[in-house]
Amino acid sequence: MESSTFDVIVIGAGVMGSSTAYQTSKRGQKTLLLEQYDFLHHRGSSHGESRTIRATYPEDYYTQLVLESYALWEKAESEIGYKVYFKAHQFDMGPSDCKSLRAVIASCLKNSLPHRALNSNQVAHQFSGRIRIPDDWVGVYSEKGGVIKPSKAVSMFQTLALKNGAVLKDNIEVRDIKREANGGVLVTTATGETFRGKKCVVTVGAWTKKLVKKVCGVELPIQPLETTVSYWRIKDGHVSDYAIGSGFPSFASYGDPYVYGTPSLEYPGLLKVGVHGGFPCDPDKRPWGPGISIEAMKEWIGKRFSGRVDPSGPVSTQLCMYSMTPDEDFVLDFLGGEFGKDVVLGGGFSGHGFKMAPAVGRVLADLALTGETEGVDLKYFRIGRFVENPKGNVKDYEEQVNLFIRSLI
C-alpha cells in the first residue's frame, strides 16, 4: 500500500507536538500529528487541570520565550473562542542567600521585567497575611504569573490544527524513522503502516530517549521521572482568600524542598501545592506511586499559609511525568547525522516547559520549515552541549528539581 505523504509529520501529541502541528498547519503545510495512545491520555506530561506560568526564571534565556507565550496563548484563545490561560501574579520566595533566587532577580533586571523584592513584613502586607516568610527570606513579586488548563490547552491546539487542515491520528505507535534516498523521511508504525514526510518533528516526552536511540543510536541524557502533585484543603472562612482572581498568586519557593503551587481554580476549596521533583522510572513500566513523601510539604504549608490551609495531609494527589536533562534545560535541535535538518527534536522539558508550549511550537515549526528561527538563542538547547559537558549548561546556582531514589525496602 502506498504511503501517505505530508509536508510535516509530528510524532507525539502532547502539548508540544499539538502546538507544533497548530503552527505548521496554520502556515499552510500539510501536517500529520501522530499519538501512540488516546489523545488527551494521562500517561505523559500534558494532562491534568493546572500548570503555572511565570516569567521569573533564574536562567535569563527563558524570559522572552515565556513573554512570547503569553501573547500566543491569548492569540490561540481568540481563535478557538474559550480560555485556557487565567491571569494571576507570580510570587517567588526563598532564603536571602539562595543563589537561584538571586539569579531570578538578576534575570528580571536583565530582561527589564517589572518586579519588586519584598522583605517578610512587606510580604505579609502584600498578601494580607495569606503568605508569610521568615525574616531571613526574601520574596520577588511580579505581575507575570498565572495558570494554564493543560488538557484543555492540548485539546485547543489539536482542534485548531484540525481546523487548519491537519490530519490527527491516535493509538499509532511510531517504531522507526528512516531517511529517504531522495530526501525526507519514512515513518513506520507498530502495525507496519508507513507515512512519508518532507520534514519530521519528534515531541514524544518521556519516550524521547528510547525513540531517538532506536532511530539513530544516539543516547540522549533525558531521564523520565514520575512526580506527584497534591491538593490541600483550605480551611473554612478562607476559601475565597486563595481563589484565582483574589490577588493570591501562583508561587514558587526556592530551597529544599523546592515547592510550587497555584491559586485555587480547578477544585474549589483546594490549593494545589507540589514538590518539584520525582523518582526515575521507565515510562513503559511505571510504578504508578506511591509518590513523594509529604512530610516536608506538611511542614512548609504549616509555616507559609498562616494556618489557613490544613497541613495534616493532601486530600487528593495526581501523578505526572517529567523528562529531565542534566541541566534542566530543553532540547530544541535537529537530530542531525544522516537526517541532517529533516528531523527536528523537542524534548527534555524538565518539568517546566508547558507554559512555553506556544513559543516552543513556533520554534520547532520554524526549524522544520526554514531550518532556522529567531527570538531564542538555541545554543542553550543544542544536543551538542552534552558532548562538550555531560552536565550541559553550566549554572552558578542550585539545582531546582529534587531527584529522589525510590526505596526498595
Q: pLDDT tens-digit profile of 155-211? A: 999 999 999 999 999 999 999 999 999 899 999 999 999 999 999 999 999 999 999
The pLDDT of residue 149 is above 80 = yes
* 357 located within any domain: yes
Q: CATH code at 389?
A: 3.50.50.60
Q: How many domains does the chain have?
A: 1
Please list, in sequence order, all residues whose beta carbon lies within 8 angstroms of the beta carbon of residue 286, skipping any fewer than 6 positions away: 43, 226
Domain ranges, residue 193: 6-46+151-220+326-400
- Does residue 1 surpass a pLDDT of 60? no
pLDDT, tens digit, for every residue of 297-347?
999 999 999 999 999 999 999 999 999 999 999 999 999 999 999 999 999
Does any domain span residue 115?
no
Q: Residue 235 pLDDT > 80, yes or no?
A: yes
pLDDT of residue 409: 27
pLDDT exceeds 50 at position 134:
yes
pTM, entire model? 0.96
Residue 60 lies in a domain: no
350 within some domain: yes
Residue 81 has pLDDT above 50, yes or no: yes
- State yes or no: pLDDT of 48 exceeds 80: yes
The answer to whether position 395 is within a domain reads yes
pLDDT > 60? residue 408: no
What is the 3 state secondary structure string of the chain?
CCCEEEEEEEECCCHHHHHHHHHHHHCCCCEEEECCCCCCCCCCCCCCCCEECCCCCCCCCCHHHHHHHHHHHHHHHHHHCCCCEECCCEEEEEECCCHHHHHHHHHHHHCCCCCEEECHHHHHHHCCCCCCCCCCEEEEEECCCCEECHHHHHHHHHHHHHHCCCEEECCCCEEEEEECCCCCEEEEECCCCEEEEEEEEECCHHHHHHHHHHHHCCCCCCEEEEEEEEEEEECCCCHHHHECCCCCCEEEECCCCCEEEECECCCCCEEEEEECEEEECCCCCCCCCCCCCCHHHHHHHHHHCCCCECCCCCCEEEEEEEEECCCCCCEEEECCHHHCCCEEEEECCCCCCHHHHHHHHHHHHHHHHHCCCCCCCHHHHCCCHHHHCCCCCCCCCCCCCEECCCCCC
pLDDT over 90 percentage in the chain:
93
Domain assignment present for residue 180? The answer is yes
Judge whether 232 lies within some domain: no
pLDDT digits (tens, 9 = 90+) for 272-289: 999 999 999 999 999 998
Residue 407: predicted pLDDT: 35
Domain-embedded: residue 18 = yes
